[in-house]
Amino acid sequence: MTSSIKFAVIRKVQRAQGPATIFAVGTATPSNIVFIKQSTLITFESPKVNIWLKLKKNSSAYVGEKTMVRKRYMHLTEGFLNENPNMCAYKAPSLDTRQDVVIVEVPKLGKEAANKAIKEWGYPKSKITHLIFCMAAGIDMPGADYQLTKLLGLNPSVKRYMIYQQGCFAGGTVLRLAKDLAENNNGARVLVVCCEIAVLNFRGPSEKVDSLIGQAIFGDGAGTHVDSEGAVEGHLKEVGLMFHLNRRLPSLISENLEKALTHAFSPLSITDWNSIFWISTQSVQQYLMMWNLSLVSIRKI
């Protein structure tokens, strides 16, 4: 009995008192901007490299129109693509070229966002106790978590967690992990970095809808996901990251979304889906318009 009491006292001291809270948020984007026309998803005009992603009147044009994305921040530039034409073909061997970019540039972009969040937080970096770094590309050893630790000048004793290949639900994954770390380690200050640059999945002309959709909308994280085994897949090949989408994906989501919400929130007696901070939308533009209205409470977990 005495041992049990001592253990309970120790655990109480080790754990934080109260729920996890987001103190600050920082974002960063590459400096290169590409304006997207309705007739193309990505357009570069170059005498050396022809990498127009032509959109025809069928599914391709539909994809370009429905995303409503007209401005995209990209690390890739016309000059870089001129020097690396293997990235402009649909299935040319190019993994080494892509890896060389993401391994270096992802930690740098993560540093920009982290510095903004740390500045908003208002405390010295020495207070950071844990680091979570999440990315879908650039698998390397040591990982981006270690590189970011060096770039930020963090204490080597910071506990690091590296997460790869999470896809669209990366945001939810890292927040769950950060919440557990913050609430189970008294005094913990967790720096979370999710960083992607669309280098692995960029490629040239193809009529495959999977590739078009992947280049049009993939990359943003979401907090909730429906089990979709075999419906959304990404495979890292010598040609880069290849997307595969099941044509039943929209129906899989629509038919199962309410079940997932009911399972997640019934223990809390929540049935009004408009009262929680989440968004299910059909277009990027609609998502951004709803952001400020629906996700005001996002800083509180």
Q: Is 134 a catalytic residue?
A: no
Q: How far apart are CA 27 and CA 107, in angstroms?
A: 13
- Mean pLDDT, the chain, rounded, equals 71
- Is residue 296 one of the residues assigned to a domain? no
- Is residue 298 one of the residues assigned to a domain? no
- In terms of domains, do 264 and 182 share one? no
Q: Which residues contact 134 (CB under 8 A, 6 or more apart)?
A: 163, 164, 166, 170, 173, 174, 192, 193, 194, 195
- In terms of domains, do 152 and 14 share one? yes
**pLDDT value for 83:** 87
Using CA atoms, how far residue 180 sits from 19, 47, 78, 244, 295, in Å, is 10, 53, 43, 33, 21
Tokens 């209205």 found at: 293
How large is the average pLDDT for residues 10-20?
Answer: 66
- Over 80: is that where the pLDDT of 3 sits? no
Q: Which residues contact 224 (CB under 8 A, 6 or more apart)?
A: 169, 172, 260, 261, 264, 278
For the stretch 230-278, pLDDT in tens is: 555 555 556 555 656 666 666 777 777 778 778 878 877 888 877 776 6
Q: How far apart are CA 91 and CA 242, in angstroms?
A: 9
Q: Considering its fold, how many domains does the chain have in total?
A: 2
- Over 50: is that where the pLDDT of 144 sits? yes
For the stretch 31-69, pLDDT in tens is: 887 776 644 444 444 444 444 444 444 444 455 566 666
Residue 196's CB is within 10 A of a number of other CB atoms, namely 21
- Over 90: is that where the pLDDT of 20 sits? no
How large is the average pLDDT for residues 181-186?
Answer: 86
Could you tell me if 190 and 182 are in contact, meaning their C-beta atoms sit under 8 angstroms apart?
yes
Residue-by-residue DSSP string for 170-215: HHHHHHHHHHHHHHHSTT--EEEEE---TTTT-------HHHHHHH
**pLDDT value for 279:** 56
- In terms of domains, do 183 and 225 share one? yes
For the stretch 89-129, pLDDT in tens is: 777 888 888 888 888 888 999 999 999 999 988 989 999 99
- Is residue 3 one of the residues assigned to a domain? no
Q: What CATH number does the domain containing 126 carry?
A: 3.40.47.10
Least confident span in 25-34, 144-153, 285-294? 285-294
**pLDDT value for 207:** 63
Whether the ω angle into residue 267 lies within 30 degrees of 0, i.e. cis, is no
Structure tokens at 49: 């490299």
Structural domain containing residue 95 = 9-246
- Is residue 174 one of the residues assigned to a domain? yes
Residue 185's closest CA among 134, 117, 121, 128?
A: 128
**pLDDT value for 90:** 77
- In terms of domains, do 68 and 178 share one? yes
Q: How far apart are CA 222 and CA 218, in angstroms?
A: 11
- Is residue 4 one of the residues assigned to a domain? no
Exposed / middle / buried, residue 133 (Cβ in 10 Å: 0-12, 13-18, 19+): buried
- Is residue 147 one of the residues assigned to a domain? yes
- In terms of domains, do 210 and 266 share one? no
Q: Does 299 or 154 have the greater pLDDT score?
A: 154
Residue 51's closest CA among 19, 77, 13?
A: 77
- In terms of domains, do 256 and 222 share one? no
- In terms of domains, do 168 and 262 share one? no
- What's the pLDDT band for 131 if we cut at 50, 70, 90? very high
Residue 97's closest CA among 87, 109, 89, 106?
A: 87
- In terms of domains, do 218 and 266 share one? no
Q: Which one from 88, 168, 194, 195 is the annotated catalytic residue?
A: 168
- Is residue 301 one of the residues assigned to a domain? no
Q: How far apart are CA 82 and CA 64, in angstroms?
A: 24
- In terms of domains, do 134 and 216 share one? yes
